[in-house]
């Protein structure tokens, strides 16, 4: 049986927030920023083969199971599983209030 891989796509706001977060961390620690960046990107990359590995997003109203989320180093990453791709929707620090969507 051939395992289907999903393409990883990013929402532009999520991409911009991620870049800003890494830049902010670099002000205190270049090594720390790189550690956070690599761990988040590696985890996102793993979604391509295993998109259902993380729990359904509890903050998504009427979630049909395609919205999921995970946390890495106090950053909550929300994504949506589509037929052919996985869309990274949001990256937020866990100290921020969750947004309804």
Q: Calculate what percentage of the chain has a pLDDT beyond 90.
A: 84
- Assigned domain for 25 exists: yes
CATH of the domain at 71: 3.30.2310.20
- Assigned domain for 46 exists: yes
Residue among 57, 70, 54, 65 at smallest CA distance from 101? 57
Look up the pTM and report it: 0.88
- Assigned domain for 23 exists: yes
- Assigned domain for 38 exists: yes
Count the domains in the chain.
1
Residue 86's domain comprises 7-93
pLDDT in tens, 27-45: 999 999 999 999 999 999 9
> C-alpha 24: how far from its chain's center?
18
What is the spatial distance between Cα 29 and Cα 61, in angstroms, rounded to a whole number?
A: 37
- Assigned domain for 101 exists: no
pLDDT in tens, 66-96: 999 999 999 999 999 999 999 999 999 988 7
Residue among 8, 30, 24, 9 at smallest CA distance from 93? 24
């Amino acid at each position: 049986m051939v395992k289907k891989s999903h393409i990883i796509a990013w929402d532009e706001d999520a991409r911009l927030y991620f870049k800003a977060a890494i830049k902010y961390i670099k002000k205190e620690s270049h090594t720390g920023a790189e550690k956070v960046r690599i761990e988040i990107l590696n985890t996102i990359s793993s979604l391509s083969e295993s998109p259902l590995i993380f729990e359904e997003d509890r903050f998504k109203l009427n979630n049909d199971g395609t919205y999921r989320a995970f946390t890495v180093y106090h950053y909550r990453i929300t994504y949506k599983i589509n037929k052919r791709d996985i869309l990274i929707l949001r990256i937020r620090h866990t100290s921020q209030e969750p947004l309804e969507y």
